[in-house]
Amino acid sequence: MTEATLPETPVSAALSSAPEARAKDITLAVAAIAWAAAGGVTLLWPSIKTFPFTFHLAAGQALIGLLLLLAYGLGSYLRGVDRWLRRNGPWLVALPVLLSIWQIASAKTGYWPQPYFPPAQGLIEAYAADYPRLLEGVRASLVLLSLGLGLGATAGFLTGLATGWTRRVGYWTSPILRYVGPIPTTALIPLVLFLFPSSFSAGVFLVALATWFPVTILTWSGVASVDKAYYDVARTLGAGPFFLLRRIAVPASLPHVFVGLFMGLGHGIAVLVVAEMIGVKAGLGYYIDWARGWTAYGHLYAGLLVMALLFSAVTTLLFRIRDRLLVWQKGVVQW
């Protein structure tokens, strides 16, 4: 005979979650101490040479530690911010530790040779001195990526939809997808730069081509995988071909379309950076190549960091759009 389990009351739930809450509180306090200690390492440990913005970096680290300490004491009043801080507590501890290791290995001991591995204040110096060029690079990359991604995604969706919907279209598009699609887009850069009137239009075409192939394949797969019973039921109710396409084929294939969009975004970003380095004399890729040519490694790492944040934001935006459009599939599709 098994023992009966008593239902969990709010009081027992609070008591059971108390150790976890205390552990998170301790993590936040440790994070505050770690950031303050990182600021002390940056400011008080002698450097191998004078680095501008060392004091500013140390002050910023100490300020983050102070803010985390205030969040530790005022956690019950912060609500959403407090939940975010506690959820990311381990990262808030790890980041100052990694920054201190970077600081010690580069600026304090010279174990990482200069100027190839500048300290964090080297990136701050690059941002302070060269932010107009970086902002122009961000603008140029966003314009090129937006145009290429938009054109490639639209063409890929229409091609995949037509290929999966009618065999007559699939007869012509299947050989192209089979033999032309798998060719690496970067291999076509010399030919495309020769054929197009400007490097900008060539870059847009390359990004669009890199996006087009995965979106086409995944859309085709999504349309072809729709259960035929859905079409049969709709036809018995009097639905025509356009209704079947608009209300059944397209909604059912949207999860596959977004998988193709994520793949196309990754390919498009890679091609974008290569195209900017080789032919398109604008954008973050061009900025990084310029910094490498002048051995300005602080600017190079600053450009890489901006690139990581920018493309991460674009990917996050695509996730948000997917969640908004496919909200009706929650519980059916695992996110």
Tens digits of residue pLDDT in 166-202: 888 888 888 888 888 788 888 888 888 788 888 888 8
pTM of the model: 0.80
| Predicted confidence band of residue 244 (pLDDT cuts 50, 70, 90) | confident
Residue 331 burial class via C-beta count within 10 angstroms: exposed 0-12, middle 13-18, buried 19 and up:
exposed
Give percent of the chain above pLDDT 70: 89
Q: Compute the chain's Rg from CA coordinates.
A: 27
- Those residues with Cβ within 8 angstroms of residue 50's Cβ, 6 or more apart along the chain or in another chain: none
Residue 99 burial class via C-beta count within 10 angstroms: exposed 0-12, middle 13-18, buried 19 and up:
buried
Q: How far apart are CA 35 and CA 100, in angstroms?
A: 9
Q: How far apart are CA 119 and CA 105, in angstroms?
A: 8
SS3 assignment, position 334: coil
Q: How far apart are CA 13 and CA 9, in angstroms?
A: 6
Q: At which residue do the structure tokens 């009351």 appear?
A: 9
Name the token pair of 241: 């071909």
pLDDT, one tens digit per residue, over 121-153 is: 999 999 998 899 999 999 999 999 999 999 999
Domains recognised in the chain with CATH numbers: 10-114 (no CATH), 121-329 (1.10.3720.10)
| pLDDT value of residue 335 | 43
- Those residues with Cβ within 8 angstroms of residue 269's Cβ, 6 or more apart along the chain or in another chain: 145, 311, 314
Other beta carbons within 10 Å of 232? 10
How remote is the C-alpha of 216 from its chain's centroid? 22
Higher pLDDT, 279 or 42: 42
